[in-house]
Every structure is written in C-alpha cells, then in structure tokens.
Amino acid sequence: MSAAWRARAALAALLAPALLWLGALILLPHVELAVLSLRERIGPQQYAASLSQYKTFFTEPLYWHIFVRTALVSCVATLFTFLATFPIAWIIAKALRGRAGALLFIVCLVPFWVSETVRTLGWMILLRESGVLPSLLVKLGITQVPVEMLYHDATILLGLVYTNMLFMLVPLVSSLESLDDALIEAAYDLGASGWSILRTIVIPHAAPGITAGAIIVFMLTLGNYLTPALLGGKNSEWFTEQIYTQFITRFNWEQGAAFGFLLLGLSTIMVMIGLRLSGQRFGDVMRRT
Amino acid sequence: MIPSLPRPAWLRGATACYLAAFLVFLFLPLVVVGVFAFNDAPYPAPPWHGFTLDWFRGNEAAGRTGLFQDEELLGSIWTSFEVAVWVTLLSVAVGTTNAFLLERFRFRGQQLLSVLILVPLVIPGVILGISILAFASRLAGLAENWFGWEAEFLRPGLPLVVLGQFSFMATIATLTISARLRRFDRTLEEAALNLGASRAAVFRTILVPYLAPALVGSAAICFIMSFADFNTTLMLVGADAPLTVMMYGRMREGASPVLNAVSLFLMVASALLALSLLRLSQKRNDVSAPPAA
C-alpha cells in the first residue's frame, strides 16, 4: 500500500517538470500562435476570427514566391550537403577507419563547436568585394577587378551547406560504420563494379542514416535566419526573415503567426515525407542524430 | 573502396585530393577570422599590414577601441554567460527527471510523452521564439488585467531568452541522459538495496557517479549551444543583447577587427572546453572500464 503510494508520488514528481515544460513552453505557445493566426484586427483592441492572414499569403505573390524559393533552396542545400559529406563519411568509416578514422572524425567536428555567427563572419571576410578570395583572384590574374562574391544565391547555398554539414556527417558515419565489409568484398569478388556496389549495397544500407541527416539538415536550413541574412543581404528573400519582419519590425503578430504556421507546416510535411520514403519511425530518426 | 580491395591509383589520388579540399573548406573561414584579428588595419581585409594587438588592447593614439575596452561587447559576453548558466541548469535538471520518467516508470500515455519530448527539436527555432513571445505576452496581459500585476519578466528580455533556449535544449539533455540511464545495470542497484543501503544512498553513491559523464556532457552541449543560439534568441531578446545578437547587429553595420578578436576569444574558449571534456571522458573510461569477465 505505502510502496504503491510512494511510486505514485515519485511518478507525479517526475511528470510535473516534463508536463510543465512541454505545456507552458511548447503546447500552449503554439495554441496561442494558432489563435493569433486565425484572427483579424477590426479596430483598436478588437479582433474577429478570420482566415484573412492566410488569404494574404496566397494572394500576395511576394510572400508566396519567397516561401517556394525558401523551400526549393533548402532542398538543393540538403542535396549538396549530402554530396559534399558522403565521401568524407566514407573515408572516416571505411577507407581510414580505426584510430585514423576517429581522429579525422573529431577534426571534422571541431569547427561546429564555434557558433554560426563566427563561421559566417569568416565567409564574409573571405567573399566580400574587398575580401580575401576576390583579391586572390585578381592577384592570380583570373579577374581584372575584385568581384563581389557575397549577396548571390550561390553564396547563400554555400553558407547553408557549410553551416549544417555536421548534422549530415554524424548519421552518415554511424550508418556506414555498421556496414559489414564482407558484403562489399563478396560483391567485388562476384565481379560487381564500384558503381554498382555503391548503388545496390552501400546506399541501401546507409539509407536510414541518409534520411535522418536529410531531415535534420532540411529542417535547420528552412529555419535558418543568420546565414541568408548575412551572406545574402537584401537579396536573400528567406521566409524566416518575413516572419521576423511581421513580428518584430511591423508588429503585425497575426500575419507573422500565420507565416510561422505555414513554415511549420512545410517543415512537418517534409519530415513526414522523408520518414515515409524510408519507412522509419520518428523516434528512431531523432535518436540517430 | 575499402582497403582490403585493390584500388586504382586515380581513385586513391582523387580521394586524397577531396579530403584535402574538404579540410581547407572546413577550416578556412575560422583561420581567416583568427588571422585578421591581428591585422594592423581598420578593416578585416587584405592586404596584410603587419601584426598588432590593438584589436584586443586598444590604441588610443590611433583611435582604436580594442575588445578589452569595448564595454558593450564585454557586457554581451557576460549576458550570454548568464543566460547559458541558467539554460544549462534548467536543461540538465529537467533532462534528468525526464530520463528517470522514461526509463524507470511505465504509465499510460508514456509512448505519447516520449514522442512529444522529441517535438521541440523539429520546430524551427524562429517559431519556438515567436510562439513563446506571443504566449508570454498574453500571460502578461492577463496578469495586468486581472490582478494589476506588472509582469516584467514576461516581456522580451533575458528571462524569456532563457526559457526559449531551454524549450529545445531540454530535449537534447533528455536524449543524452536517458541513453546512458538505459544502459545502467540494475543489478548493481538491487545489490546495494539488498545490502541495506537506503534509496538516497544508492542514488548518491551509484546512480549519480554512473550518470556523471552524461550529465557533464549534456551540460557542456547546452552551454555551448546556448552561447551559439541565434534564431530563438533573436525573437525574444530585449534591451540586453547576448553576444550572438550583438555580433549580428555589428556585422550588418560593417566590419571591424574587434569582431575578429571576440570571435577568436570564442574559438579558444570552446576549444579549451572541448579538450577538457575529451580529457575527462578518457580518464573516466580508464577508471570505469569494466573488468574482464
């Protein structure tokens, strides 16, 4: 009797912080955001339920355009992140392995201990018109005058790939490490080419890691603010900036809340598609990373 | 291909080249930031004008303000530090209670709760920020209307920044700590209880030492991530800007080597933290390595 009661008290004591955290900082704030996004200001301190915030989004080509652009660039950035990190993950897990592989892995993780702000500052110093790379190009005689390498779409893409690589590398390495070399050797002995080994053995085996990495990278890219704002300047046209503008600059919380929900919806849909494609469960993916 | 198979020379060459190019890509921005903190010129750009410590110590004759005199920047480092301490304490505490909740209890709705705990990680930080901002402002409005309270801490400012960062870092702490708790051998605990130890003694002398690496590790991750967080912080910040927000504002205004100096400080600090953690985990592994069966 008393033991059962004590177990209950312990359970309640442990449930309280979890429920308080999820309720007060996640659940209720999102309910508030939903309420905000579904109302319209009709006078001072007067509001009415309406869908006009969402209507504005669909009828105003600018917002719509930026939304689609953000989604597409995020997809491309995710693809490039995968292409850039896969060879490195292979080298760490398969080509080097052991101590050398572990050392290279640690070396690759080092830059991500430093904040995104610092890393972006580095790219700005490298790429701006008076920066390191443009002046190097002039010195090498490749260009006559320094070219502005900031504020292009390619710059934003570069920055996004750079800043999120870690979240692709870690799941890739762990999924490749679990691939048995004997499978590759057997395929090779049976006459398979390197390409067909990659396509029929390595990629299918690494698929869970690839999905996990792609989901996280896509989500972080979509929600990124700093990199597009600093590397893209006025041309960045990133959706999170629209949310910021509505919420903080214009103080139009209703519109900002609707934008927030649209971004959240897009991110959720893409995560679900990723999970469905690879047939994985949400919890497993999150634990992988 | 793997070492046990013959690899053509071109493939080995290409692999080595790619690895070298990747490492340059990885470290070039950081190296550049560090190097230009010492350039004797008012602008962090080539050409190299010689070595100087002006951007740290300042130089009144040349009208240069160094990092150590820049009260605004130093203040923002301190602000970030305070925020990070609070976020770390809260996240590790709630991460620990969550870990016990998930690993030591079975109750209805547990499956749902374990999924809900992961949700904060897949919500973009900007949205976490605005939703907490909106909810806090609603609460502040209610407090004022109903009780006439002036709930200053619910307005944009450091308390909200702490809560905003905590809202997703608690998940990270929970994952780290519960992963370790799951591998705990419960017979150790039972043996201690059989031998007459109290629950409190078991907790103190067995569980806490066992969990220590996860507690320290998740604390370090929370601390570093709190220092680095931008998205959520930007939405909730009030008059006192933490370092990332302060740096962002200055980077938009223009470049100054003082920013390189403060960045170098950040790099050295996080490198030291990473190294000491690595040291600690190695030492612990040596001591707590399981005896050969």
In A, minimum Cα distance to B3 occurs at: A95
The answer to the question of residue B126 being in a domain is yes
B48 lies within 8 A of chain A by CB? no
Residue A56: both structure tokens together: 């504005």
Q: Name the pLDDT band for B42 (thresholds 50, 70, 90).
A: confident
User: CB B175 to CB A287 under 8 A?
Assistant: yes
φ, ψ at B180 (rounded to 5°): -75, -40
Q: Cα separations (Å) of B142 from A24, A28, A159, B149, B280?
A: 15, 15, 43, 9, 48
Q: Is the torsion defined by CA of B149, B153, B157, B160 positive or negative? A: negative
State which residues form the domain around B138.
67-283
Rounded CA separation B183/B202 (Å)? 17
Question: A47 in helix, strand or coil?
Answer: strand
Measure the CA–CA gap between A35 and B164, rounded to whole angstroms: 20
What dihedral angle (degrees, nearest 10) is formed by the CA atoms of B258, B264, B270, B271?
-170
Interchain CB distance below 8 Å, A264 and B228: no
* CA distances in angstroms from A121 to A90, A169, B28, listed in the order given: 30, 23, 11
Q: Is residue B186 part of a domain?
A: yes
Q: How far is A163 from chain B (nearest CA, A)?
A: 10
Q: How many other C-beta atoms lie within 10 A of the C-beta of residue B82? A: 15
And the tokens for B182? Answer: 């799951």
Q: What is the pLDDT of residue A189?
A: 87
Q: Give the contacts of B172 (CB within 8 A, at least 6 positions apart).
A: B91, B95, B121, B218, B221, B222, B225
**Phi-psi region at B264: left, alpha or beta (left = phi > 0; alpha = psi -120 to 50):** alpha
Running DSSP on this structure, what letter comes out for residue B59? Answer: B
Burial A225-235 (b: 16+ CB within 10 A, else e): bbbbbbbbeee
Q: What is the mean pLDDT of chain B?
A: 89
Preferred mutation among B127, B162, B243, B259 to probe A, highest tally of A CBs within 10 A: B127
Q: Which residues in chain B have Cβ-Cβ distances shorter than 8 Å to A130?
A: 43, 45-46
Q: Span A162-191, mean pLDDT?
A: 90
Question: What's the Rg (C-alpha) of chain B?
Answer: 25
Higher pLDDT, A256 or B291: A256
Q: How buried is B27 (Cβ within 10 angstroms: 0-12 exposed, 13-18 middle, 19+ buried)?
A: middle
Q: Is residue B293 part of a domain?
A: no
3-state secondary structure of A40: strand
CA triplet A15, A32, A13: central angle to 5 degrees? Answer: 10
Top residue of A117, A149, A284 to mutate, by most chain B CBs within 10 Å, is A117
Sign, CA torsion B221/B223/B225/B226: positive
How confident is the model over B230-277, as pLDDT tens digits?
999 999 998 899 999 999 999 988 888 999 999 999 999 988 888 888
Query: Mean pLDDT over residues B66-83, rounded?
Result: 92
Residue B109 belongs to domain with CATH number: 1.10.3720.10
Cβ contact (<8 Å) for A188 and B43?
no
Determine the distance in angstroms separating the CA of A284 from the nearest CA of chain B, rounded to an integer: 10
B181 belongs to a structural domain: yes
Of the candidates A271, A95, A65, the one whose C-alpha atom is nearest the C-alpha of residue A173 is A95
At residue B287, the pLDDT reads 44
Helix (H, G, I), strand (E, B) or coil at A150: coil
Given a cut of 60, whether residue B74 has pLDDT beyond it is yes
How many CB atoms within 10 Å of residue A34?
15
| Residue B34 located in a structural domain | no
Q: Where are the alpha helices (DSSP H) in B64-198?
A: 71-104, 110-116, 119-122, 125-147, 158-182, 186-194
Q: Distance, in angstroms, between A67 CA and closest chain B CA?
A: 15
Residue of A nearest to B229 (CA): A115
- Which of A11, A95, A115 faces B3 most closely, judged by CB atoms? A95
Question: Hey, are the CB atoms on A114 and B98 less than 8 Å from each other?
Answer: no
Q: How many domains are contained in chain B?
A: 1
Q: How far is B60 from chain A (nearest CA, A)?
A: 25
pLDDT in tens, B142-182: 999 898 888 888 899 999 999 999 999 999 999 999 999 99
Q: What is the pLDDT of residues A107-116, one digit of tens each?
A: 898 888 888 9
Amino acid at the residue B203: F
Beta-carbon contacts of B71 under 8 Å, excluding residues fewer than 6 positions away, are none
Two structure tokens written together for A138: 């002039």
- B279 domain residue, yes or no: yes
Place of tokens 């395929």: A187
Domains in chain A, please, with CATH?
49-288 (1.10.3720.10)
Higher pLDDT, A235 or A158: A158
Q: For residue B195, is pLDDT > 90?
A: yes
Nearest to A264 among B18, B100, B127 (CB): B127
Question: Is B112 part of the contact surface with chain A (CB cutoff 8 Å)?
Answer: no
Residue B169: inside a domain: yes
Q: Does B255 touch chain A (CB under 8 A)?
A: yes
Return the pLDDT at A4.
86
Cβ–Cβ gap A36/B134 under 8 Å: yes
Chain-centroid distance, C-alpha A4: 45
Taking CB atoms and an 8 Å cutoff, what residues of chain B touch A181? 2, 4
Residue A18, beta-bridge partner list: none
Contacts of A254 (CB under 8 A, 6+ apart): A36, A37, A39, A40, A41, A53
d(CA B207, CA B186): 10
Is B4 domain-assigned? no
Q: What is the band of A1 on the pLDDT scale with cuts at 50, 70, 90? A: low
Cβ–Cβ below 8 Å for A88 and B25: no
Per-residue pLDDT of A48-77, as tens digits, reads 888 888 998 899 899 999 999 999 999 999
- CB–CB of A153/A73 below 8 Å? yes
The number of C-beta contacts closer than 8 angstroms across A and B is 240
Structure tokens at B128: 């976490």
Rounded CA separation A199/A184 (Å): 11
A274 versus B222: which is more confidently predicted? Answer: B222
Q: What does the pLDDT average to over B176-195?
A: 91
Asked if A33's CB is within 8 angstroms of B130's CB, the reply is yes
- Cβ A21–B166 below 8 Å, yes or no? yes
User: Nearest Cβ partner of B251 from A11, A124, A264?
Assistant: A124
pLDDT band (50, 70, 90) for residue A193: confident
ipTM of the complex: 0.89
H helical segments located in chain A: 2-22, 28-37, 52-59, 61-90, 98-109, 116-127, 132-139, 153-177, 181-189, 194-197, 203-222, 226-232, 239-244, 253-278, 282-288
DSSP state of B281: H
The better pLDDT of the pair A50, A281 is held by: A50
Per-residue pLDDT, B230: 94
